[in-house]
Amino acid sequence: MSHKSDYKSLLSELDRERLPKHIGIIMDGNGRWAKAHHRPRLLGHRAGAKSTRLAVELAVELKIPCLTTYAFSTENWSRPQSEVDGLMKLIKELLISEVPELHRQNVKLRFIGSPHGVQASLWQEIHQLASVTHKNTGLQLNVAFNYGSRTEIIEAFQKVYQKAQQNPQVIEQLDIHNFGDYLYTAGMPDPDLIIRTSGEMRISNFLLWQAAYAEIYVTPLFWPDFDKKQFVIALLDYQNRIRRFGGLQGT
């Protein structure tokens, strides 16, 4: 059975009415995949980019409203400079090559993260490339770049403080329902499902506020080995969960 027909056969098992509105993916294991295949780490990241493309394709096919991929964290700057430089170059290359197809698929691409510590010209360039898609109405694809959830929350409180200087009632009116308006993901639904590859059992500073009640799915596969079939398997696992949101089943 071919790879394509293999994942297609699983699609029939999905309940299209119970798909997640927002999926977050911690794309882990590119370096370990490269090591296991006796290749340079940067080739592992290139292989991982192919898996990202497949994930986006399936999200478009299933009409998932929102997908957030963890591309580069605020902690990743501590990696060897050669790897960081290679990743920056790869991100620009992928944007140049992929944005036309994303635009054709009506995908709205957006980078979320902090500009602090990023070369200003790079920050401007990646947002300019993504801006081509800003009027699209299909899948909202968030690329978390120079992203750290703790930084996001701190910056959100700074926004609240600045707004409160003009209107003190902002503090009194702040609650769990409107705090999200100050986060990078403002206007988007909270993630229903967080997928993590490589078998690590942690959330790694990813969407901490937003993922308060997200279902977590962990697979031992490295990200370059995560294909459409594995994505559908994760969705089927999600649909087998009972989501209580702190309450009791059946209440």
Q: Which residues are catalytic?
A: 28, 76
Q: Is the dihedral of CA 100, 102, 105, 110 positive or negative?
A: negative
The angle formed by the CA atoms of residues 245, 248 and 251, to the nearest 5 degrees, is 100
Which residue, 131, 122, 53, is CA-closest to 87? Answer: 122
**C-alpha to C-alpha distances, 215 to 125, 136, 251, nearest whole angstrom:** 34, 28, 19
CA pair distance 191, 69, nearest whole angstrom: 12
Q: What is the DSSP letter of 231?
A: H
Q: Is the dihedral of CA 124, 129, 134, 138 positive or negative?
A: negative
Structure token digits, residue 247 = 């309450």
Q: Is the dihedral of CA 28, 30, 31, 36 positive or negative?
A: positive
